[in-house]
Structure 1
Amino acid sequence: MSFSFIHAADIHLDSPLKGLEKYEGAPVEEIRNATRVAFKNLVNLAIEKHVAFLVIAGDLYDGDWKDYYTGLFFISQMTRLQKAGINVYLIRGNHDAQSLITKELKLPDNVREFSVHQPETEVDEQWKVAVHGQGFVSRSVTDNLAKDYPERLDGYLNIGILHTSATGREGHENYAPCSIEELVSKRYDYWALGHVHLREVLHEHNPAIVFPGNIQGRHIRETGDKGCTIVHVKDGQIESFEHRSLDVLRWEICDVDASLSETMDDVMEEARLQLEQLQQTADGRLLAVRFHIIGASPAHQSLTVEKDHVINNLRSLALEIGNVWVEKVKIKTTRLIGIDHLQEQHTPVATILSFLESVKEDEDTLELLLDEFKDIQNALPYELKNGEDGFDFTESETIKARLKEVENLILHHIQTKAGV
């Protein structure tokens, strides 16, 4: 007997995407609806491929529902699967733990949610499958849940569903930790894991242990292709598994190497090449792109001083190419000539640069400057004081960063006057 099933996780349905309004020109509706459309794509794939069942390994929701429409949308999609004869096995994760969700709706008969108090086993005689799982009772579960999962049921394909950080993953809380050896020792055929948003195969065979990643990136820290894993079973064994894309909006970092760029036009041409390559892999999806302009470049001073000009040229390029939104531009270039070399030239400019460099190392002077900026700090509007690029004149590191900008400004104007 041959069949397939789908393993998905970390859907975060109706994730609120806080702070999106601060991005100028952001495609707000497309981003807000992205998790729903991606979930529809998941259900469409299950029906199209006539899969035996769907496994959801936690974080179906992104916290308590704002209203019942989130739950009703989920029910509507489960009803579609019910009509297609497809069962669904799901557990709760840290974002949709039992203690977080205050609103409830009766689930259709094809949906089986596992207990949050102890591991349970669901047997499907039609497909000769035994599914084992346990959800999160609260947001922070630091106990090793896997150790109490039952031994395999002989004569069945055994699947374990677990929301876990496994051995620990950067950027993810250490929830329900366990080792790969521990999972292997249960002698299951497949472990359907959730919690980690980056696709990762921890063990290829006997058993396959897989994080499918989330089905839709929600911000710039979740870049690249997002989707689910479709697993193929033959004669009671895992034959193969593969990734299937589901995302409708793709977040990407676009690295633009400006090391060979003499002018702004050169930088834009390199940006065009990199952006067109990203668009080719996006398969028609809307791209949300953060540009990183990097490298030791002759155009460094122009790029840093004329940042608004750079940003708007990149936005214009995105409009020209189409289906691209510029989320942010980070200029990370450096000078071709080091500051030490410039200081050794014994010119008036070198004297100014040496003074600025000495200020960075003088804590007393930095404290005096912070005191001078106190009134400005208090007067700044909230949006300028907060966020990744906010002005915080209560920290000396802010002054040091601004002094670097002053250096770039001086060198830019000298080069412009000299016709360099």
Structure 2
Amino acid sequence: MESFSFIHTGDLHLDSPFKGVSQINEEIGRELSEATFTTFQRIIDLCLKKRVDFLLITGDIYNASDRSLHAQLRFRDGLRRLSEAGINTYIVHGNHDPLDGWSANLNWPEEVHIFKGDSVQKVVAKKEGIEIAQIYGISFPKQKITENLTCKFPKIPKATKELFTIGMLHCNLGTDTGHEPYAPCTLQDLASRNFDYWALGHIHNKVIISDTPLIVYPGNPQGLHPKEIGPKGCFLIKVDEDKKTTAEFVEIDSIRWSLKEIPIDPLSTEEDLLKSIENCIDGIRKDAQGRGSISRIILCGRSELHPIIRRKGVLEDILQRLRETEEGRKDFVWTESLVDNTDPAIERELLLKQKDFVGDLVRFFEELYQDEERRGQAKEYLDPLFTSTFGRRFLESMNDTEFLDLLKKTETLCLDRLIEGSSV
């Protein structure tokens, strides 16, 4: 068998607006609006540079079924560059870009194959006229697919399998609760088909689920909001003459999201605080390797600085200063927010032992932290905020980790008022 290579990407979400970014300057705003397209062009450049034999795209090319003409044209232009270099592209559509969404009547390169949604199709990839791989795939015909699509893929007897076999699917493997449960399946469902490689999409984190067979989520190549932190990219897959594979993750994102914590425990002055934040930003810039970054910085820990940080306007002034210093830089670090998770400089263990109202209050919160059932009951009191017609428009539901964070902020606010007499 001929050796070959390919790129596996998915969840491009072209033309997607960045979430959680406000008050951004015009220059950086333009880079954000172009970020998904810039990242896509980097994927095309990588295919050409590595001279791969084909590109796999596993769904959610666009951010919505009502995709813009602009996004469709930019996508076609990129694939045309590959076509001119003799590189084929194989595509399945997912829940964000189902086949029943609007598509412009455009002329696509012959080297682009889009899998249908009514049944699993098979295509054979070639290298200089020699067959190198058989690729099976199926697209989402509509947005909400709740059936297990792996059942539609054939089971290939190992003894009769000559070509390297690839499956392409946009799906939710296992019980990942962070994504919509579309096309749910299990590891056993995939492994039972005896394929050599499963190219998956839908999950925005890069994950190698299995080595044998090789089952891969490349994640989205460009982070879209503050929760999608760290390097994003795609996988370069190489297959040798004996069908042995190597998977290399290639960082390809044009703008990177970061989340950093700065403990204030060793800090005593405002100058200390500013220096720590500036050092943190320098570290983010270095890690980003020349690309722009959007950062969320969380101040945590206990210090005499706590009441100063809580003063009205202090964090806003620091944030403004940080942003001003980044204007005009290509390797900018735009601080999306400074989050105050600091606590008063008090011994909480001593408060737990006090026989007064403050002690009762701290013990009440401690019980909520430790008792998951009681915490769940407390969370139910807030449900109407999120389930009401008005609330659903503006609020996202909280998971247990987020509710814990809310409780801790509430305790801190109570202690500020009770112990320090703060008027924050």
Q: TM-score range by the shorter chain?
A: 0.7 to 0.9
Whether contact under 8 Å (1:116, 1:137) holds in the other structure is: yes
| 2:146 is the alignment partner of 1:145 | no
1:234-281 deviation line (CA, Å, top 9, x unaligned): 105133111111111101001111121122222222222222222211
Whether contact under 8 Å (1:5, 1:51) holds in the other structure is: yes
CA distance in 1, matches of 2:116, 2:419: 65
Q: Paired residue for 1:175, among 175, 182, 185?
A: 182
Point out where structure 1 has 5 or more consecutive residues left out of the alignment.
361-381, 389-397, 416-420
Question: In structure 2, the residue corresponding to 1:237 is in which secondary structure?
Answer: coil
Structure 1 vs Structure 2 CA RMSD:
3.3
| 2:188 is the alignment partner of 1:184 | no
Question: In structure 2, the residue corresponding to 1:15 is in which secondary structure?
Answer: coil
Whether contact under 8 Å (2:7, 2:56) holds in the other structure is: yes
Q: Which one is further off, 253-262 or 99-108?
A: 99-108
| 2:306 is the alignment partner of 1:300 | yes
Question: In structure 1, the residue corresponding to 2:287 is in which secondary structure?
Answer: helix
Residues 414 and 192 (structure 1), Cα distance of their counterparts in 2 relative to 1, 3 Å cut: closer
Q: Paired residue for 1:316, among 314, 321, 330?
A: 321
Question: In structure 2, the residue corresponding to 1:265 is in which secondary structure?
Answer: helix
1:39 corresponding residue in structure 2: 40
Question: In structure 2, the residue corresponding to 1:106 is in which secondary structure?
Answer: coil
* Alpha-carbon offset, residue 401 of structure 1: 6.6
| 2:284 is the alignment partner of 1:284 | no
CA distance in 1, matches of 2:243, 2:16: 36
Q: Which one is further off, 53-62 or 175-184?
A: 175-184
The code of the aligned residue for 1:132 comes to Y
The code of the aligned residue for 2:83 comes to Q
Question: 1:54-203 maps to which residues of 2 (within 5 A)?
Answer: 54-65=55-66, 67-125=68-126, 126-152=130-156, 154-203=161-210
* Alpha-carbon offset, residue 187 of structure 1: 1.1
* Alpha-carbon offset, residue 402 of structure 1: 7.5
Residues 342 and 165 (structure 1), Cα distance of their counterparts in 2 relative to 1, 3 Å cut: closer
The code of the aligned residue for 1:30 comes to E
1:372 corresponding residue in structure 2: none
Q: Which one is further off, 82-91 or 103-112?
A: 103-112
* Alpha-carbon offset, residue 341 of structure 1: 5.2
The code of the aligned residue for 2:318 comes to N
The code of the aligned residue for 1:325 comes to W
Q: Paired residue for 2:218, among 205, 212, 220?
A: 212
CA distance in 2, matches of 1:405, 1:23: 27
Whether contact under 8 Å (2:120, 2:137) holds in the other structure is: yes
* Alpha-carbon offset, residue 319 of structure 1: 4.5
* Alpha-carbon offset, residue 8 of structure 1: 0.2
1:372-405 deviation line (CA, Å, top 9, x unaligned): xxxxxxxxxx9xx9568xxxxxxxxx99977954
1:279-325 deviation line (CA, Å, top 9, x unaligned): 2110111110001111122322221224x322432442454465111
Residues 356 and 2 (structure 1), Cα distance of their counterparts in 2 relative to 1, 3 Å cut: closer
Question: 1:398-409 maps to which residues of 2 (within 5 A)?
Answer: 405=413, 408=416
Question: 1:355-374 maps to which residues of 2 (within 5 A)?
Answer: none
Rg larger for? 1
Question: In structure 2, the residue corresponding to 1:33 is in which secondary structure?
Answer: helix
Residues 399 and 6 (structure 1), Cα distance of their counterparts in 2 relative to 1, 3 Å cut: closer
Residues 75 and 345 (structure 1), Cα distance of their counterparts in 2 relative to 1, 3 Å cut: closer
Residues 283 and 127 (structure 1), Cα distance of their counterparts in 2 relative to 1, 3 Å cut: farther
Whether contact under 8 Å (1:157, 1:236) holds in the other structure is: no
Residues 28 and 317 (structure 1), Cα distance of their counterparts in 2 relative to 1, 3 Å cut: closer
| 2:342 is the alignment partner of 1:333 | yes
Question: In structure 1, the residue corresponding to 2:184 is in which secondary structure?
Answer: coil
CA distance in 1, matches of 2:136, 2:418: 66
CA distance in 1, matches of 2:250, 2:213: 20
1:391 corresponding residue in structure 2: none
Whether contact under 8 Å (1:213, 1:227) holds in the other structure is: yes
* Alpha-carbon offset, residue 189 of structure 1: 0.9
Whether contact under 8 Å (1:227, 1:245) holds in the other structure is: yes
CA distance in 1, matches of 2:197, 2:155: 13
* Alpha-carbon offset, residue 354 of structure 1: 8.8
| 2:264 is the alignment partner of 1:258 | yes
CA distance in 1, matches of 2:352, 2:307: 17
Residues 56 and 236 (structure 1), Cα distance of their counterparts in 2 relative to 1, 3 Å cut: farther
1:101-141 deviation line (CA, Å, top 9, x unaligned): 35443321010011111111101243421000001111111
Question: 1:2-41 maps to which residues of 2 (within 5 A)?
Answer: 2-17=3-18, 20=21, 22-25=22-25, 27-41=28-42
Whether contact under 8 Å (1:254, 1:289) holds in the other structure is: yes
CA distance in 2, matches of 1:399, 1:250: 30
2:400 corresponding residue in structure 1: none
1:3-29 deviation line (CA, Å, top 9, x unaligned): 210000100011134675x44547321
Q: Paired residue for 2:240, among 231, 234, 237?
A: 234
CA distance in 2, matches of 1:406, 1:167: 41
The code of the aligned residue for 1:337 comes to I
Point out where structure 2 has 5 or more consecutive residues left out of the alignment.
366-389, 397-405
The code of the aligned residue for 2:235 comes to T
Residues 314 and 67 (structure 1), Cα distance of their counterparts in 2 relative to 1, 3 Å cut: closer
* Alpha-carbon offset, residue 67 of structure 1: 3.6
Question: In structure 1, the residue corresponding to 2:99 is in which secondary structure?
Answer: coil
Question: In structure 2, the residue corresponding to 1:38 is in which secondary structure?
Answer: helix
Whether contact under 8 Å (2:179, 2:203) holds in the other structure is: yes
CA distance in 1, matches of 2:210, 2:286: 31
CA distance in 1, matches of 2:45, 2:11: 18
